[in-house]
Every structure is written in structure tokens, then in C-alpha cells.
Amino acid sequence: MRMPENEQELKYSRLREAMRGDNADACLISLNIHHYYFTGEVFNGYLYITTESGPCYFLIRPSGPDAENRYNIRKPEEIPGILAGLGISLPRRLWLEADELPYSAYVRLKHIFRPESEGNASAAFRQLRMIKTPWEIRQLRHSARQHEAVYREIPACYRPGMTDLELQIAVENRMRQHGSIGHFRAFGANMDIFMGSLLAGENAGTPSPFDFALGGAGMHASTPIGANGTVLAEGMSVMVDMSGNYTAYMTDMTRVFSVGKLKDEAYAAHRVALEMENWLEEQARPGMICSDIYGYALETARQAGWGENFMGTRLQARFVGHGVGLQINELPVLAPRCDTPLQPGMVFAFEPKFVLPGTGAVGIENTWLVTEGGVEKLTCLPEEIIPLS
């Protein structure tokens, strides 16, 4: 779905307001994800906007926004001359994507514009993107419907004797058939994963260097996360946490399946996760502090006797949820010391999970929209443990 013109105007207005709050004169945007956020397109070049003028599009390759203020360039050194011809002064304070640009690119752009000071556009954009627009929420709703449709088909993907990887490949096939883009975007370095994670049995407790809720050994030393070739066997849980990227905006959802019947303790721990989710749905409101949600979940797990299994065993994740959108790990984060209050328009995943040695992982994850009066669950699908055989 193409981004409407009024969506761009809204985002540019929010950007200018944020720039003025930091006394910035201009912002130069280089990265695909931010190009898409503001224009609905990905292009090779630069988007330049000031507090008083723009946007201007400086394109290194010919594809890009079909706009009047579009200029073809070979290199960014040409931009100041074009701006001078337009009567636009160079900025005294310039925003650059400091957290994400390669150092050499950052230094090059700083040398070209020679501002008196620079601001961090990456941090500002994460704050802007934390509050979704009505159009973005519609994209998330569409992803949620397709996400649900694929998960309904997971039992049909199962065959006795298959491995976790074979099951994941079958699920990925259904995902693409339902329109999955396939590209899994995450913020930060060293956050590599392909279309999501499927964890079976003991592999769910294997620590990973990647900052996701649970780990898994993976299939290769270069990508140690997720499915590792475990043969699916009786009494084993299968946690499916695959991406809902059916638009550029991703939903996040986890459901647990079982090969045969699990131990009674697995169902008991799973019920605790569902109790946490019910509490969230009943209690979460604008103004609730993110760290308080994490604190409630951790204390509930401890009181139920599952504190040592909460969010892992050998390595326990220190969060229970995160924002979602163009990236799978946006703001806010439901974690200790995160004093961000919930605000209408936020969209986040809440994922209380337990790892049980000898069984695997159980728990739940859904994507939630913060509304004026509470929260709305966007990913709606049966939440009990679903038997595969």
C-alpha cells in the first residue's frame, strides 16, 4: 500500500517540531529505513529537510520519489552547491544518523556541511517512530491478519520425524505464500536473524549472543540462533516466533505447539504467562511505566515458582517486551530502568516466556496497541498449547 501524501506531511511536521526542540536547522537522511519512514520509498541518495524548507531529494541512482524538488547527483559533495542555488543556507546545527552511519560516512558528511554542531537523528527518529500514525496502525493490522492466517496453518506443516528446521522451512513457505516480505529489520549491530525463530525442546535453553528474548544454537557458527536440526519428538514443546512482516510494519507473535503431550509443569507455567497477559489487557493504560510492567511480570513468575525459568535459564533476558514497527525492536522497551510511560499510538510486543529443561519453551507473545483507554490486542489467535500430533 503506497504511503498517502498526508502521511508524509504529518511525519515531516513531527520531524520539524523535534528539530526545533533541539535547535537544529536541518536533517540529512541517508538510510533506507528512514527514507521509507518519511517517503514510503527506498532509494539510493539523501533526503534533506530544514525547519523552514524542503524536503529535497538528492538521488545517486535514478529511482526515487517523483517530486519536483528532486536532484540527480554523483556524490554528496554536490549537495551544498545545489542548496546555494536554491537560496538555502547551510545549517549551523545538522542532524545526522549518528547511531547507524558508518564512521567514514559520518565524517564525510560532517566535512561536506561543516556545521557548528551535530545532533543524533537516529535517536530522534526512534522517538518519533515510537508513536504510530493512523496509517501505520492500518499497516500493522494488515500484518497481524496475515500473521494469524499463517499460524493457523502450522499444524498442517508438521510431519512425524521431521526436524525443527524442516518445520521452520515449511512455515516460512506459508509465510511467503501469504505475502511475507521476508526482510527482517532490527535496530543495532549484531542482530542477525532470518524470518524469525522456531525453538524445539532443549535447544530453547541454549544461550545466543543475539539480544532476542530466547536463543537457540542455530545451524551454523556464523548465525548462532534458532533452530539447530533437533528431531521433533514426543513430549517436546515447539515455540514458533516468526516475523509478521506482511507490510513494512512488523507484528510480533509467539505460539507454542507440542509434539504429543507435555509434562504437567509445562501447562502450569504456560498458564502463568497467560495470567500475565490477562493482567496487561485489564490494567495497562496510558501513563503506566514500562519498567512497572516488567516488574509485575518478574514478580508474578517468582511467586508462581518459575523465577529461575523466566525468559530463559542459562541466560535470562532482562526485558519482557519491546516496541515493534519498521524494526522488530523499537521503543519502548518493557525492561528495568525504562521509565517511559505508555502513550496512545505506541505498539509493543509483550512476551512472557519460560524455558523448562527436558521440555522446551512455553509462553505467549502478542502485539498490542496503546489506545486512549487501555490496550488493544492486534494479534488474535488461540493461546493455549496446540498439539501437533
Per-residue confidence at 312, pLDDT binned at 50, 70, 90? very high
Cα–Cα–Cα angle for 42, 48, 51, rounded to 5 degrees: 130
- How confident is the model at residue 63, as a pLDDT? 83
CA end-to-end span of the chain: 39
Per-residue confidence at 181, pLDDT binned at 50, 70, 90? very high
Q: List for the chain the helix, strand, coil content (%; round to 5).
A: 35, 20, 45
Q: Judge whether residue 39 has pLDDT over 80.
A: yes
State which fold the 5-129 domain adopts. Answer: Creatine Amidinohydrolase; Chain A, domain 1 (3.40.350)
Residue ranges of the domains in the chain?
Answer: 5-129, 131-387
- How confident is the model at residue 151, as a pLDDT? 98
CA–CA gap between residue 332 and residue 335 (Å, rounded): 9
Per-residue confidence at 190, pLDDT binned at 50, 70, 90? confident
CATH code, 131-387: 3.90.230.10
Q: Phi/psi zone of residue 115: left (φ > 0), alpha (ψ -120 to 50 degrees), beta?
A: beta
Report the relative pairing of strands 236-244 and 251-252 from DSSP bridges.
antiparallel
Report the relative pairing of strands 236-244 and 255-259 from DSSP bridges.
antiparallel
- How confident is the model at residue 66, as a pLDDT? 82
CA–CA gap between residue 43 and residue 30 (Å, rounded): 9
pLDDT (tens digit, 9 = 90+) per residue, 221-238? 999 999 999 999 999 999
Burial (CB count <10 Å: 0-12, 13-18, 19+), residue 73: middle
What average pLDDT is seen over the chain?
Answer: 96
Q: Judge whether residue 54 has pLDDT over 80.
A: no
